[in-house]
Structure 1
Amino acid sequence: MRATPLTSIASLAAVALLATGCGQGLLGGGDGGDTAKTNEPIVLGMLIPQSGSEAAIGPYMSNAAQLAVDEINAKGGVLGRKLQLKTADDACDAQSAAAGANKLVTEGVDVSVGGYCSGATLPTLPIFGKANIPMIIPAANSQELVDQKLKHVFLINGTGTQQAAAAEKWMTKQGAKSVALMHDNTSYSKDIALRTQTLLDAPGGADTALIEAVTPKESDYSANITNVLAKKPDFVYWTGYFQEGGLIARQLRQAGYKGSIMVGDGSVSPKLVEIAGPEAAEGVYATMTQTPDTLEGAEGWIEAYKKKFGAEPGPYSNQAYDAVRLAAEAVGKAGGTDGAKVIAALEAIDGFQMFSGPLKFTPEHTLSNGGFQILVVKDGKIILQDSLK
């Protein structure tokens, strides 16, 4: 879903929060059935990478989440209670994520609003589920998360299926004839590659030259590059994260590859350009949902973020901001933090205004439209290339 033209996203957020205060009301007033917790904060937990190769993404998400918390609290909180954000490091690693999820459960979080790496998010699903904690996942989007069919899990980023469709549509539009798909064997990355392969190999699509799996966190992918170039593709699609994506883009160009390079949403970060180098990164495409730079009418929100944190908002900051706002909306509608009631409130959401547009979940608890667009690196910056409308 594309963002609707707005004079100020920050103003919209405030209006939306006030407008949803029906019944007992979202902002102030009433104990909403949580009488034992009337004076306690509503605690939101956020698992994000704060260490490891994806650590650059963590601050974007936690800062934006805190911005939403502060804005809601300034207007009276939810049901007369303040919001509180607690973060934990998942290091984009399954074991670390499980430990972080258990830590947040022990600390008494009411709703989870984190999840960046799908492979790290997957093992947290049963942990939060057993504790009856609803999960609003802002970034992680492997179809495997959806396939668990868990009632407490909601995704507000486009799915791997939707991303694969966007990738195939763009490559076809560009006249690709032979595509090399590269992934890192993680749930998220492999899922997108395989789904893209299925679409490419359908009648009328480009041929899949090969699927090449790499070992993450290495510094030399020359053997993988050799395998790819031997198939003479005119398009290479990397579906993993930016650390490897930057190296692969650079080593492809160093090896003489002249065709198109595209990366998945896990590689959309200024770090991609930094690692690849400006020359190798130039012209690299990316499949991605909305980023602050591509949102229409987001100037006010961007300025509010910059004023508070002294930095530009980066990828997944807008999704993290919306995750907090959506959690507040659901708790307000539920009249408290009872997990089952919050889940029911999330399922009943219809038209809640987010950056990506009015929200209504599908029966699978995903967005009805993934909102993927094509970005491109130009003059060292990642900008919008095509909205794929």
Structure 2
Amino acid sequence: MIRVFRARAPFAAPFTAPLAVPLTVTVACVALVACGSGGTTNPGATSSASASPSAPAAQRGDGTLTIGTLLPQTGSLAYLGPPMFGGADLALKEINEAGGVLGKPVVEHDTDSGDTSTNIASQSTDKLLAQKVDAIVGAASSSVSESVIDKITRAGVVQFSPANTSDKFTTIEDKGLYFRTAPPDRLQGRVLGDLVVSEGSDTVGILALQDAYGSGLADQVTQTAEAGGASVVERVDYDPKAADFSADVAKIKAKNPKAIVLIGFEETAKVVQELVKQGLTSDKHKWYMVDGNMSNSNFVQSPKGTMDGVKGTMPGAEAPAAFQKRLLSVNPELTEYTYGAESYDAVTLIALAAEAAKDDSGASIAAKLVEVSKGGEKCKGFKECADLLRAGQDIDYEGVSGPVDFNDAGDPSVATIGVYQYGADNRFNAAKAVEYRTGKIAG
């Protein structure tokens, strides 16, 4: 009997199920030019790390693939924890039902990443490394990942985030061991900036969380909007731990922009309350949001209609109904699906890379992740792809979140950005894509 090991604390109270509302959804598919150096000897290495003399020496694994998760159970991104844990759990379930990796069940240890206001991520990382994990899936927050990446990569362990979007990771020193299924912020920022301009707003105000994620996105939105002819008349980078946001919102109000871009996490609910209080409601100004604050649980207590018409961007292909149903089989209480597909793909790709390498060590997995993501026979799911590998075939894993296709920096070279719209019930529905936008980003 296959056993899956757990070390997870319980989540907070379950979310309220969303109502089905017919909404408009835009999906932007954005192809990237490879951002790493072209001649790296390790296909998973970033341009800054491809020739690192401090890279860990290659070691054979112990024959059992062990994956740790470093995902939010607490903190400002806790609402994203359930779908990401669900995606990882679903992948693990399907992998082990298909016979596991290297003939053995994959072992998983789950931990909490918390957020940047605590030291939880560092403690969880220490725990996972002590448990001899080969790869760590997480963190969700770019700033949290940045705080532990050195510790993880020094240990020769793969770090694979399903949700990091900071541009810093494209060139960060990572010994070739860092990967992500979420695209860099410059994609999302470009799509959001284009959206704001295309909907007729020539003056823009930005309220952004003051960290690597918020600042990076705000920079790209500003650049794109201004290139499109709009003016960013006020930008406020705020402290998410502030007691209130009245002074921050007042700065936006003084400039009276047609569009207001909100870049943040859970604290956005308080920012929204202050916007309404000061008369900057969504029916008078166009509000736009991002993946960090797009939620079906964060605004349900707001007065009906508060979020009506608000649009927001999220990296990743819309999760098809069939995949959502599979996620519900491992967690029937899910109401959020953000980054569930990316987490599923992360675990599946790690397992396929270990199969391709015939070894479960972090270095061996990293060396094969680019190879299994592109250039071979297209396949979906662990069983189909693993069967091809065992038959001596090269594979191209087609993920639930999109094609993946890693470049040499460990970034997906093809990405999808969805634009979603809230209804009067303060929830959004990602059921349909009605148009596509394509573009290329040079590294």
TM-score (norm 2): 0.75
- Contact 2:91 2:348 (8 Å CA) reproduced: yes
> Within the alignment, does 1:200 sit opposite 2:221 as a pair?
no
> Within the alignment, does 1:259 sit opposite 2:305 as a pair?
no
Aligned residue number for residue 309 of structure 2: 283
Structure with larger RCO (C-alpha < 8 A, sep 6+): 2
> Within the alignment, does 1:171 sit opposite 2:217 as a pair?
no
- Contact 2:62 2:360 (8 Å CA) reproduced: no
* 1:229 Cα offset (Å): 0.8
- Contact 1:3 1:356 (8 Å CA) reproduced: no
Map of 1:171-320 to 2, 5 A cutoff?
Answer: 171-202=196-227, 204-218=228-242, 220-241=244-265, 243-257=266-280, 258-274=284-300, 276-290=302-316, 294-295=318-319, 298-312=320-334, 314-320=337-343
* 1:306 Cα offset (Å): 1.8
Q: Deviations over 1:267-310 (max 9, x none)?
A: 1221232254432122111111236xx33xx3222222223322
* 1:219 Cα offset (Å): 5.1
Within 2, Cα distance between the matches of 1:140 and 1:322? 14
Within 1, Cα distance between the matches of 2:27 and 2:355? 26
Q: Deviations over 1:91-131 (max 9, x none)?
A: 12263212221221111111111210111111111111101
> Could you say what secondary structure the match of 1:371 adopts?
strand
- Contact 1:265 1:289 (8 Å CA) reproduced: yes
- Contact 1:179 1:210 (8 Å CA) reproduced: yes
- Contact 2:71 2:114 (8 Å CA) reproduced: yes
* 1:161 Cα offset (Å): 0.8
Amino acid at match of 2:292: G
- Contact 2:316 2:402 (8 Å CA) reproduced: no
**Among 156, 161, 176, the residue aligned to 1:137:** 161
* Range moving further from structure 2, 216-225 or 70-79: 216-225
- Contact 1:219 1:247 (8 Å CA) reproduced: no
Q: Which has the higher helix share?
A: 1
**Among 372, 379, 388, the residue aligned to 2:417:** 372
Within 1, Cα distance between the matches of 2:240 and 2:435? 30
Within 2, Cα distance between the matches of 1:169 and 1:89? 36
- Contact 1:247 1:276 (8 Å CA) reproduced: no
Aligned residue number for residue 92 of structure 2: 69
Structure-2 change in CA distance of 1:144 and 1:100 (3 Å): same
- Contact 2:183 2:315 (8 Å CA) reproduced: yes
> Could you say what secondary structure the match of 2:410 adopts?
coil
Q: Deviations over 1:199-220 (max 9, x none)?
A: 2223x42111111022213452
Structure-2 change in CA distance of 1:100 and 1:36 (3 Å): closer
Within 2, Cα distance between the matches of 1:132 and 1:356? 27
Within 1, Cα distance between the matches of 2:112 and 2:356? 30
> Within the alignment, does 1:154 sit opposite 2:176 as a pair?
no
Structure-2 change in CA distance of 1:35 and 1:220 (3 Å): closer
- Contact 1:200 1:207 (8 Å CA) reproduced: yes
- Contact 1:43 1:110 (8 Å CA) reproduced: yes
TM-score (norm 1): 0.85
* 1:2 Cα offset (Å): 6.9
* 1:58 Cα offset (Å): 1.5
Aligned residue number for residue 362 of structure 1: 407
- Contact 1:44 1:112 (8 Å CA) reproduced: yes
Within 2, Cα distance between the matches of 1:196 and 1:304? 35
**Where in structure 2 are there 5+ consecutive unaligned residues?**
1-25, 30-57, 375-395, 438-443
Within 2, Cα distance between the matches of 1:193 and 1:275? 27
> Within the alignment, does 1:120 sit opposite 2:144 as a pair?
yes
Structure-2 change in CA distance of 1:374 and 1:35 (3 Å): closer
Aligned residue pairs, count:
353
**Among 38, 48, 55, the residue aligned to 2:71:** 48
Within 2, Cα distance between the matches of 1:377 and 1:328? 37
- Contact 2:69 2:108 (8 Å CA) reproduced: yes
Q: Deviations over 1:177-206 (max 9, x none)?
A: 01111112111111110122122223x421
* 1:374 Cα offset (Å): 0.9
Q: Percent identity?
A: 24
- Contact 1:287 1:375 (8 Å CA) reproduced: yes
**RMSD between superposed Cα atoms in Å:** 2.4
**Among 127, 135, 151, the residue aligned to 1:103:** 127
Within 1, Cα distance between the matches of 2:226 and 2:173? 28
Structure-2 change in CA distance of 1:300 and 1:160 (3 Å): same
- Contact 1:136 1:153 (8 Å CA) reproduced: yes
Within 2, Cα distance between the matches of 1:88 and 1:207? 43
Amino acid at match of 2:332: G
Q: Deviations over 1:330-349 (max 9, x none)?
A: 11111111222211101223
- Contact 1:289 1:372 (8 Å CA) reproduced: yes
Map of 1:83-98 to 2, 5 A cutoff?
Answer: 83-93=106-116, 95-98=119-122
* 1:149 Cα offset (Å): 4.6
Amino acid at match of 2:403: P
**Where in structure 1 are there 5+ consecutive unaligned residues?**
5-32
Within 1, Cα distance between the matches of 2:301 and 2:223? 31
